[in-house]
Amino acid sequence: MKSVKFLSIIAFAAVILSGCGQPKGELTGIGSVSRFNEASPYGMVYIKRGSFMMGSNSQTAIFDTPDNLLTVTVDAFWMDETEITNDEYKQFVNWVRDSIAYKALIEAGRTEFALQTGEDVDEEEARINWKKKIPWNSKEEDIQEALYSMYYEDGIELNTTLLHYEYTWIDYDQAALPSNRFDVSRGVYPVGAIARVDTSWVDEDGIIRDSTLERPLRQAKDLTSRRIIGVYPDTLIWVRDFKFAYNEPLLRMYFSHPGYAFYPVVGVTWEQAEAFCHWRTNLFNNNNPILGQDYRLPTESEWEYAARGGRKMSAYPWGGNYARDDKGCFMANFKPYRGSYTDDTGGMTMKVASFKPNDYGLFDMAGNVSEWTSSAFNSTSNNWIHDFNPSFQYTAKKDDPDVLKRKVIRGGSWKDISYFMQCGTRTYEYQYECRPYIGFRCVRSFIGEGI
């Protein structure tokens, strides 16, 4: 009895002590953890916040507009330590392939591949049961018929033109227009507010169609854009971009053969890279209890800051103003001399991380393949961009002129001379074009202040 009374006293004291520092009737917050430490994303390198002088350190190309050097500050972020490889991009392609296969099976009446089972399953809206394996080699007639639709008539080669990824996003550019400013006190958008958004659909011939809509802006969902994008890389680039050259072996094997698994993926447009980032974000968030920042393409300033590796005035990511080290060895995969591609030990693309990383631990920030950024290209943007997290962002609509669809690419490639490998050198490509010398890597903003 004494022991019970003693325990009661201890429990009462514990309650009193636990209330210390938490006065009733005062603002104390909701009890969130006092410190959150973000786990390192797999395959990414942490880039601490800092400032640097953005722009070319050396003479610009002939007839090019000289850079206006600008001291800027960039927040902390994570960046892929290498360019996205064929093997990594195949994970995206295979996910899209499998999702189409699951949908075909469900629509064929095989509801065991849906999370909801039974006769009341809505075949068009059913969610996929990813734990149920796809019976690719099944002998059942209805399963064979459903999966056969994904192949060409020979039943052997996958019809890659069917590999479509569909996603939506909120167009914050439209939301930020002064004419669309939301009245938070009244909970309404202005009378006459209009949102220009993208939409996509697949026509009866299986072709993806895009258009721009103008709709009255009455609620947040009116700002939603929709995109359908084919995800398979364009392998014909190896022949189309290099006339009078025998690149057919690369056309046939570069993306599909395991011998090229750890080479950077190419033949991917800016739009496909954006779709990959969206998919990668969902892949992470669907498998982790705490959501992370979105995966995305780096802004131009983030890319240059990361490429410099803390060496603020160096021309190249490895430091210094030369493409060779003190032993005369080339420091990256590029075109050293006229036609002498192999003098740097590589011909065309090479396996990622074939050369030493920069001081941030990032590989191939110069050479191998050029890289897409999220920034729109304007030759004079350094004259008017902000000096904190600068980037000229523009989401081009379907009916916009091509000049608004230019995106900055950085880093130079296996077919470029050394000038294009310099940290401050910038050029562009149209967002709907793909090349055998352009790839990409992702970044993710750091949660919190960073150090």
**DSSP letter string over 265-293?**
P-S--HHHHHHHHHHHHHHHHTT-SS--P
pLDDT of residue 443: 98
Per-residue pLDDT at 246: 94
**What pLDDT, on a 0 to 100 scale, did the predictor assign at position 123?**
66
- Contacts (Cβ under 8 Å, ≥6 apart) of 98: 134
* pLDDT tens readout for residues 173-216: 899 999 999 999 999 999 999 999 999 999 988 899 999 999 99
Q: Domains of the chain, with CATH numbers?
A: 44-85+240-445 (3.90.1580.10), 88-162 (no CATH), 164-230 (no CATH)
Query: Counting Cβ atoms within 10 Å, is residue 5 exposed (0-12), middle (13-18) or buried (19+)?
Result: exposed
| Residue 412 pLDDT | 95
| Helix, strand or coil, per DSSP, at residue 90 | helix
Per-residue pLDDT averaged across 37-52, rounded?
92
Q: What's the N-to-C CA distance of the chain in angstroms?
A: 56
Give the residue, 117 or 27, on which the prediction is more confident: 27
**DSSP alpha helices (H): ranges in 241-361?**
248-253, 270-285, 300-308
CB count within 10 Å of CB 25 equals 5
pLDDT digits (tens, 9 = 90+) for 401-422: 999 999 999 999 999 999 999 9
pLDDT one-digit tens code per residue, 318-365: 988 888 888 888 989 999 888 788 887 888 999 999 999 999 999 999
Q: Which residue has the higher pLDDT, 398 or 262?
A: 262
Distance CA 152, CA 38 (A): 46
Q: Which residue has the higher pLDDT, 305 or 38?
A: 305
Asked if 450 and 75 count as a contact pair (C-beta separation under 8 A), the reply is yes
- 176: three-class secondary structure by DSSP: coil
pLDDT at 347: 86
Band (pLDDT 50/70/90 cuts) for residue 61 is: low
Mean pLDDT, all residues of the chain: 88
Q: What is the mean pLDDT of residues 149-158?
A: 86
Give the rounded distance of the alpha carbon of 426 from its chain centre.
19
Distance CA 123, CA 105 (A): 10
Q: CA dist 198 to 110, 171, 204, 219, 315, Å?
A: 34, 9, 20, 17, 40
Write out pLDDT tens, residues 366-394. 999 999 999 999 988 888 888 898 889 88
Rounded average pLDDT over 283-291: 91
Contacts of 42 (CB under 8 A, 6+ apart): none
Mean pLDDT of 212-222: 92
CA dihedral 289, 47, 333, 423 (to 10 degrees): 140
Residues found in the chain: 451
